[in-house]
A and B are shown apart, each in its own frame.
Chain A
Amino acid sequence: DTEVTQTPKHLVMGMTNKKSLKCEQHMGHRAMYWYKQKAKKPPELMFVYSYEKLSINESVPSRFSPECPNSSLLNLHLHALQPEDSALYLCASSQVSQSSYEQYFGPGTRLTVT
C-alpha cells in the first residue's frame, strides 16, 4: 500500500474559523511533510516531521499549526487564515533513510478562505 490519504478534499472557511486538515499513511514511513501549492506553481515546503518530532519549519506563520500525534497521522490546524492562504495543501511521507527518501504524496485538500 503506497497510499497517503487526506481529508477533507475541499474546505471553505471564514477568516475567523478554526479548522484542521488530516493526513494518514500506513507505509511505516517515519517522515511526514506539509506542502502548500498555489495555482500554476510548484509545491512549497511548510513543515517536516521526523520520528514524530518537528524537524523543519519553513518560517510558516503561526496561524498554521502542525501536529503529529503518532507515526501514521499528521494534522494541520488552521486559525485566523487570510484569503491569500487559499491553496492546495499537500501531505507527503517518506522513509527516513539516506538511500531512499522517495516521497509519496496525497491527493491534497483544496482550501478556500473567504
Chain B
Amino acid sequence: KQEVTQIPAALSVPEGENLVLNCSFTDSAIYNLQWFRQDPGKGLTSLLLIQSSQREQTSGRLNASLDKSSGRSTLYIAASQPGDSATYLCAVLNAGGTSYGKLTFGQGTILTVHP
C-alpha cells in the first residue's frame, strides 16, 4: 500500500527566505506526482505536476523535483512571501497495486510566512 509522508508538518519562516518542502513515497510505481496548495476552508490548487519520466518542473518561484527511484520529491519556494502561507499537499498517482489510478496524499505541510 502506497504511503506518502511530508516533512516538516509545519514551517514558519520570515518573508524573503528560500525554503524546501519534502515529500517521500514508499512505492515507486507512480504515473506522476502533484503538488497542491490549499488555503483554509478552500479547495486544492494544483501548483506543479511532474510525470514519472521527468526530473523537475518549474513555475515562477516554484521548482519541484522528483527522484522516483528513491521515492522522493521536493518543492522549492524562492523568495517566500506572506501570500505563500497555506497548506502544501503532495500527492502521487499510483500505477500499480490496489491503489491503481488513485491519488495518495501526504498529510501536508502548513507554511506560515511572516512579514
Bound together, the chains give a CA A102 to CA B50 distance in angstroms of 10
Instruction: For the complex formed, measure the closest distance between the CB of A71 and the CB atoms of chain B, giving whole angstroms.
Output: 18
Instruction: Say if the beta carbon of B89 comes within 8 Å of chain A.
Output: yes
Are B42 and A107 closer than 8 Å at their CB atoms?
yes
Q: Is B107 a contact of A42 with CB atoms below 8 Å?
A: yes
B105 close to A43 (CB less than 8 A): yes
Interface string of A1-42 (1 = CB under 8 A from B): 000101000000000000000000000000000000000011
Q: How many residues on B have C-beta within 8 angstroms of the other chain's C-beta atoms?
A: 22
Query: Chain A: how many interface residues by the 8 Å CB criterion?
Result: 23
Q: Footprint of B on A, CB under 8 Å?
A: 4, 6, 41-43, 45, 48, 55-56, 88, 90, 92, 98-99, 101-108, 110
Which 8 residue pairs across A and B have the least CB separation, nearest first? A42-B105, A105-B44, A107-B43, A105-B43, A108-B43, A102-B49, A101-B93, A106-B43
Can you list 20 residue pairs at the A/B interface with Cβ under 8 Å?
A: A41-B107, A42-B106, A42-B107, A43-B103, A45-B102, A48-B102, A88-B41, A92-B44, A99-B51, A101-B32, A101-B101, A102-B46, A103-B46, A103-B103, A105-B36, A105-B44, A105-B46, A107-B42, A107-B43, A108-B42
